[in-house]
Amino acid sequence: MKEPIGVFDSGIGGTSILKELVKLLPNENIIYLADSANAPYGQKNPEQIVALCKKNVSFLLKKGCKLIVVACNTATTNAISELRSSYSVPFVGIEPAIKPAALGTKTKAIGILATKGTLSSALFAKASDSYGQNTEIIEVIGKGLVEYIEAGDFDNPNLEILLKKYIQPMIHNHVDYLVLGCSHYPFLVPLLTKILPQNVKIIDSGAAVARQTRVVLKKKCIANTSNKVGEIMFYTNSKANTLAEIVKNHFKNYKIEAIKTYTS
Ligand code: DGL
């Protein structure tokens, strides 16, 4: 099936997942929607997050998407069950990679950096309950980080100060894994590597999401069997500059379009 896979996030963060999708499924056509005008989602309540997700899904369905990847932990943990019961299209979501961290830790302490929306969700509570029995999980809300990333303001010294403040309790508790529970945070890896002790492994869920997408495409018999390289279409409802910079550096065969508004 040559119809596109739809991918959405509250902004540019989901491009960290998109990179993994393109690597694993190079022949798929993909539409990426960055709802940057409404970022951050992380401080919003579940009802607001569900409403924004539905608006994004409607937009992608109007473009003919055959499967939707919710490339945002906050959106997945707060809205995916509602999305699955409201639409017949298959959804793949992203959740913090607690399992591999809890299974791999030697110090029996892991850190999770995520948004308030993700850390306070029922889905996250369930996952941390099942893997956190013998492991101390240090949860930290990364308030304010998404704003720097959306602005492409990676060299701002205040970003490093903020990040150090968030990581400090994890270092204090001797974590040996840091789970990035927000699809925006892989953009902070260069800074995090500077701040963290060398033994701390940083993990995110991007590759796992791509693998799960491949499984669902196969199971539903909707994979694109063409051997042509797929096209990627980006839509953003905010300034296209930062997205354009990222896209230029990481993707080929793409188009980018700034859209003003879209409704469900
Ligand atoms: N990128 C999103 C996530 O994975 C949320 C960022 C935000 O809008 O707060 O949680």
pLDDT in tens, 118-153: 999 999 999 888 887 889 999 999 999 999 999 999
Residue 77, ligand 1, Cβ within 6 A: no
Q: In what order do the strands lie in the sheet with 136-141?
A: 136-141, 109-114, 177-181, 201-203
Question: Is 191 in the same domain as 217?
Answer: no
Q: What's the confidence (pLDDT) of residue 132?
A: 77
Distance 115 CA to ligand 1 centre (A): 7
Looking at 187, 203, 219, the residue that finishes a domain is 203
Q: Is 22 within the bounds of a domain? A: yes
Q: What's the confidence (pLDDT) of residue 262?
A: 60
CB–CB of 7/32 below 8 Å? yes
Determine the Cα angle at 72 with ends 250 and 188, to 5°: 55
**CA separation for the pair 148, 217 (Å, rounded):** 35
Q: Is 263 within the bounds of a domain? A: no
Token pair for residue 116?
Answer: 């308030």
Average pLDDT for the chain: 94
Question: Is 17 in the same domain as 88?
Answer: yes
Q: Give the DSSP letter string of 31-53.
A: EEEE-GGG---TTS-HHHHHHHH
Residue in 75, 147, 66, 133 with CA at minimum distance from that of residue 105: 133
CB–CB of 127/230 below 8 Å? no
Q: Is 77 within the bounds of a domain? A: yes
Q: Is 264 within the bounds of a domain? A: no
Q: What's the confidence (pLDDT) of residue 264?
A: 43
Residue 13, ligand 1, Cβ within 6 A: yes
Residue 10, ligand 1, Cβ within 6 A: yes
Q: In what order do the strands lie in the sheet with 67-70?
A: 91-92, 67-70, 5-9, 30-34, 232-236, 254-258
Q: What's the confidence (pLDDT) of residue 139?
A: 96
Question: Is 113 in the same domain as 34?
Answer: no
Question: Is 105 in the same domain as 191?
Answer: yes
- How much is the pTM? 0.94
Residue that wins the pLDDT comparison between 163 and 127: 163
Average pLDDT over residues 229-237: 94
Looking at 156, 178, 203, the residue that finishes a domain is 203
**CA separation for the pair 254, 3 (Å, rounded):** 16
Atom of ligand 1 nearest to the CA of 118: 10
pLDDT at 7 over 90: yes
Q: Determine the structural domain holding residue 254 and report its residue range.
A: 5-94+206-258
SS3 content of the chain, % helix, strand, coil (to 5): 45, 15, 35
Question: Is 24 in the same domain as 49?
Answer: yes
Question: Is 104 in the same domain as 10?
Answer: no
Q: Is 217 within the bounds of a domain? A: yes
Residue 183, ligand 1, Cβ within 6 A: yes
Question: Is 177 in the same domain as 192?
Answer: yes
**CA separation for the pair 106, 182 (Å, rounded):** 24
Q: Which residues are catalytic?
A: 72, 182
Question: Is 172 in the same domain as 114?
Answer: yes
Distance 166 CA to ligand 1 centre (A): 16
CB–CB of 233/254 below 8 Å? yes
Q: What are phi and psi of 19, to 5 degrees?
A: -55, -45
Distance 200 CA to ligand 1 centre (A): 23
CB–CB of 209/91 below 8 Å? no
pLDDT at 100 over 70: yes
Average pLDDT over residues 219-246: 91
- Total of domains in the chain: 2
Question: Is 83 in the same domain as 118?
Answer: no
Q: What's the confidence (pLDDT) of residue 261?
A: 61
Q: Is 76 within the bounds of a domain? A: yes
**CA separation for the pair 230, 227 (Å, rounded):** 9
What percent of the chain stands above pLDDT 70?
98
Q: What's the confidence (pLDDT) of residue 5?
A: 98
Q: Is 242 within the bounds of a domain? A: yes
Question: Is 9 in the same domain as 90?
Answer: yes
Question: Is 185 in the same domain as 230?
Answer: no
Q: Using CA positions, which residue lies closest to atom 2 of ligand 1? A: 72
**CA separation for the pair 29, 174 (Å, rounded):** 43
pLDDT at 259 over 60: yes
Question: Is 102 in the same domain as 195?
Answer: yes
Question: Which CATH number do you get for residue 48?
Answer: 3.40.50.1860
Residue in 164, 99, 172, 183 with CA at minimum distance from that of residue 138: 172
Looking at 177, 203, 229, the residue that finishes a domain is 203
**CA separation for the pair 27, 2 (Å, rounded):** 9
Q: Give the DSSP letter string of 102-117.
A: HHH-SSSEEEEEE-HH
Q: Is 221 within the bounds of a domain? A: yes
pLDDT digits (tens, 9 = 90+) for 180-204: 999 999 999 999 999 999 999 999 9
